[in-house]
Structure 1
Amino acid sequence: MENEIELKIMLKAENVEALADWFTQQNVLAQATDILGNTYFDTPEQFFAQSKMGLRVRNHNQKYEMTLKIKGEIVDGLHIRPEYNLPLASYRPDFKRLNSHFNLQIPQAEQIAQQLSPTFSTDFTRRKWLIELNQSQIEVALDQGMIKNGFGEEAICELELELKSGSLTDLLALLKQIPRQDGMWFSNLSKAQRGYLVGQAVKFKQQISKAIESSSGEALLQQLADYIRTVEQDLEVLDCFNQLAGLQLNSWTEAKQYLTSKAYFEENLAKIEQRLAKN
């Protein structure tokens, strides 16, 4: 088991190459480009989605690895969560073996294993740089590709900064050095979460309505922001966001522009810095 600690930043395509050039100029220990094929599996009742987990099989150069990601802490684009990795002989998941190997004690693991079927895919090209900063090593991954399920497809264009060794302070220091511009924003949505929601606006709205009833504060604010950036106009959600954020955004278009702006990125960066300073 590993604890994955990473920051996730969504990008507009026009920002990609300038950022790639900037990372290449840092203290790079290694860099590579990989083509990754990922299939996510779930039961008919969506056991993993309901449990806020993700089960995938990744194909990299005909080598297969199964990964189970467990719900952790996700705030302001900072993802801290446990994950379990197991090599496979083929693309077929072996959840029963993973459950046993890591002594996860998930009830009805054998029944879950028998019911698994492909739910969606995330296929992308990953450019990555291993950067050394002070005494820390940080892997930067720039992903471009597609999420596809039975309801539609959606582009992947995102940046992940993962702390491989060292301190969160250095991860934050690298983040603060990245050139900032409009069309960059922190997101709490993982690829797996997006995979369950592509082409299903009604399902996404149901999740947001449930969050409005049960959540509050910064966690709810970030969920509303992800929703506004993703779907078409919903004035009820915009009103809720305005009240919670203390803003007066007058239209859905204005809200989307604000939530993908350099100014909003910097506001969230300041929140991340404050949160890490308390730890």
Structure 2
Amino acid sequence: MTEFELKLEVPADCAEAVEAAVRNGPVVRQRLLARYFDTPDRALAAQGVVVRLRKEGAQWVQTAKAPGSRPLERLEHNVDLAGRATPLLDLARHHGTPVAERIQRALKLKPAQAFPPLELVYQTDITRLSRIISAGEASVEIAWDTGRISAKTPEGRRALPVRELELELKQGSPANAVELARFWCQAHGLWLSSVSKSMKGQRLADAQPFGAAVAAQAPRFGRRASGRTMAAAVLASCLDQVLANASDVAGGCNDAEHIHQLRVGLRRLRTALRELGALIEGVDSAWEAPIVALFRALGLHRDRDYLLHSVQGQLTASGGPPLDWSAALTELPDPAAAVRAPAFQEALIGLIGLVHAASADEVMQPDQSARKTVRRRLRKLHKEAVTEGRQFLQLEEAMQHRLRKRLKRLRYLAEFSRPLFARREVDAFVAALKPVQDALGMYNDELAALQAWQQLVSDDARAWFGTGWLSARRAANAQACLQACEKFAQEAKPFWD
């Protein structure tokens, strides 16, 4: 069975209003006591596999879950167990199901090899209020979950409160569940999260408040995919990265790598919408503005970190004096609030609905629309990048920055299109892009740093050292950019012709 479920985080000050809204209709109240298991080295969690025993009222149910092929989609298999006594976990109960295959893969077992014993890692005690809502032609269960997760750690037993609203599609199209999630977010200030109770429990047991930052993964689609299929797969890949990192940032994570990977995901997502949006129906132009707003808000954090640590560190190593930044530094936007912003949540939920709608209607088209479109877009981006790169020293600063962004789009689109062309040729082209991207990246960063040091001079005369140091490097950096652009034009072989 494939499960489609949207989980919304509920802030403490909204809990009363959310519960009242859930109770605006006939509800079922259940106490859910669950025990989650894994190997001592957490082999299942590492592959996103969850195995639990849960008491639902008087009934014990054994459940196994594994990641699906699209954002927020899960493979799930449930087994009702007889008797009231607490049962023993038995992975063999899932034999012959897609989830069992994922379990065997996670545990690196051969087909006939027996499952190893698992150990209890954490437990949940949840009170659930649920009711079924008709949304269009769909049936969606909304569940208001409150309670706690507990785990035994070397430092003692730890607990974490739970306040979540889950929307699980029981029948119909995911688009209907998505529309319902949009309503609840707008009405109560909720936000989408991919951090499940099992992930929270695993982190609690490991004494880790957040998971590792999630890097981009290649989209999966066939060489003869239609344009619609390719676009949906690419958007799904982008959303996986965005949603994973956005969920932690919205939860209070200010780690630089999470913010960096979220910005990478947003940049990839913008590229996909710009270059492939014409291949899929339902793209809303209103999504662009909140995505850009979040990208820029997070960029301020990245820029501040670069100025105060990277550039200032180089200046100090070169004999430069310490600086007083107190008057120059403005307050940065809160990353969590920026992710939770209603406009961005609206865009995120809309994109998830778009991907699932496109996947549900997937058909094979023999017109090669994906290859035709990608060839055209790659050819255009490449031609513009080569032309502008050869004129780099004559370009205005804004045009130089535009070239840098164009090269990033060219790289992402090349990576997206890898399944359509010869992989070695694609990889060689992407590798040839790296030196020119690095050169333009350093040039742009140091140019921004120079502007910051020039502004600081009026408050701290010691900033003249950094102004001079950065100014002296500018011409050499620009020349390095020109050389990198010329080398790219000569050595990068177009793989699409």
TM > 0.5 fold call? yes
The one of 78, 87, 91 aligned to 2:86 = 91
Q: Displacement, 1:201?
A: 6.0
Match of 1:257 in 2: 337
- Aligned partners of 2:173 and 2:253: how far apart in 1? 39
The one of 28, 37, 41 aligned to 2:37 = 41
1:248 aligns with 2:250: no
More helix by share: 2
> Could you tell me the percent identity over the aligned residues?
23
1:275 aligns with 2:355: yes
Give the conservation status (yes or no) of the 8 Å contact 1:201–1:231. Answer: no
Q: Name the larger-Rg structure.
A: 2
Give the conservation status (yes or no) of the 8 Å contact 2:122–2:205. Answer: no
Match of 2:431 in 1: none
- Structure 1: gaps spanning 5 or more residues: none
The 3 A distance-change label for structure 1 pair 150 and 253 is farther
Give the conservation status (yes or no) of the 8 Å contact 2:70–2:356. Answer: no
Q: Displacement, 1:195?
A: 1.2
State the TM-score, normalizing by the size of structure 1: 0.82
The 3 A distance-change label for structure 1 pair 199 and 183 is farther
Match of 1:5 in 2: 4
More strand by share: 1
Q: Deviations over 1:209-266 (max 9, x none)?
A: xx33767733222222122234554234334434553323345871011122323322
Superposition map of 1:1-279 within 5 A: 2-25=1-24, 30-73=26-69, 75=71, 79-88=72-81, 89=83, 90-100=85-95, 102=97, 104=100, 106=104, 107=109, 111-113=114-116, 115-151=117-153, 152-178=158-184, 180=186, 183-198=189-204, 200=206, 204=210, 207-208=212-213, 211-212=214-215, 217-230=238-251, 232-242=253-263, 244-245=265-266, 246-249=295-298, 250=300, 254-279=334-359
- Aligned partners of 2:131 and 2:188: how far apart in 1? 23
Cα RMSD of the aligned pairs, angstroms, is: 2.9
1:11 aligned partner, one-letter code: V
Q: Pick which of 227-236 and 153-162 moved more.
A: 227-236
Give the conservation status (yes or no) of the 8 Å contact 1:38–1:59. Answer: yes
1:112 aligned partner, one-letter code: F
1:15 aligned partner, one-letter code: C
Q: Displacement, 1:142?
A: 0.7
- Aligned partners of 1:144 and 1:262: how far apart in 2? 23
State the TM-score, normalizing by the size of structure 2: 0.48
Give the conservation status (yes or no) of the 8 Å contact 1:149–1:198. Answer: yes
Q: How many residues align?
A: 268
Q: Deviations over 1:90-129 (max 9, x none)?
A: 433332431337584633687534x211101121110101
- Aligned partners of 1:217 and 1:172: how far apart in 2? 18
- Aligned partners of 1:52 and 1:179: how far apart in 2? 26
The 3 A distance-change label for structure 1 pair 51 and 92 is farther
Give the conservation status (yes or no) of the 8 Å contact 2:2–2:68. Answer: no
Give the conservation status (yes or no) of the 8 Å contact 2:252–2:336. Answer: no
The 3 A distance-change label for structure 1 pair 80 and 182 is same
Structure number with the bigger relative contact order (C-alpha 8 A, sep ≥ 6) is 1
1:262 aligned partner, one-letter code: P
- Aligned partners of 1:81 and 1:227: how far apart in 2? 20
- Aligned partners of 1:138 and 1:149: how far apart in 2? 31
- Structure 2: gaps spanning 5 or more residues: 219-236, 267-294, 302-331, 360-497
Give the conservation status (yes or no) of the 8 Å contact 2:174–2:353. Answer: no
Q: Displacement, 1:45?
A: 2.3
Task: Report the 3-state secondary structure (helix = DSSP H, G, I; strand = E; otherwise coil) of the residue aligned with 1:178.
Answer: helix
Q: Displacement, 1:51?
A: 2.8
Q: Pick which of 185-194 and 42-51 moved more.
A: 42-51
